[in-house]
Amino acid sequence: MSVAIRLSPREAKIFKKHAARSGMTLSDFAAAAMRERMEDELDRQAYEEAMAEFRKNPVTYTHAEVAKMLGIDDEDL
Domain count, the chain: 1
> How far is 37 from 49, CA to CA, in rounded Å?
18
pLDDT category of residue 77 using cuts at 50, 70 and 90? low
Report if residue 76 sits inside a domain: no
Tens of pLDDT, residue by residue over 18-70, are 999 999 999 999 999 999 999 999 999 999 999 999 999 999 999 989 999 99
pLDDT category of residue 73 using cuts at 50, 70 and 90? confident
> How far is 7 from 69, CA to CA, in rounded Å?
56
Report if residue 56 sits inside a domain: yes
> Are 19 and 32 in contact, with CB atoms under 8 Å apart?
no
Range of the domain at 35: 9-70
Report if residue 66 sits inside a domain: yes
Report if residue 4 sits inside a domain: no
> How far is 40 from 32, CA to CA, in rounded Å?
12
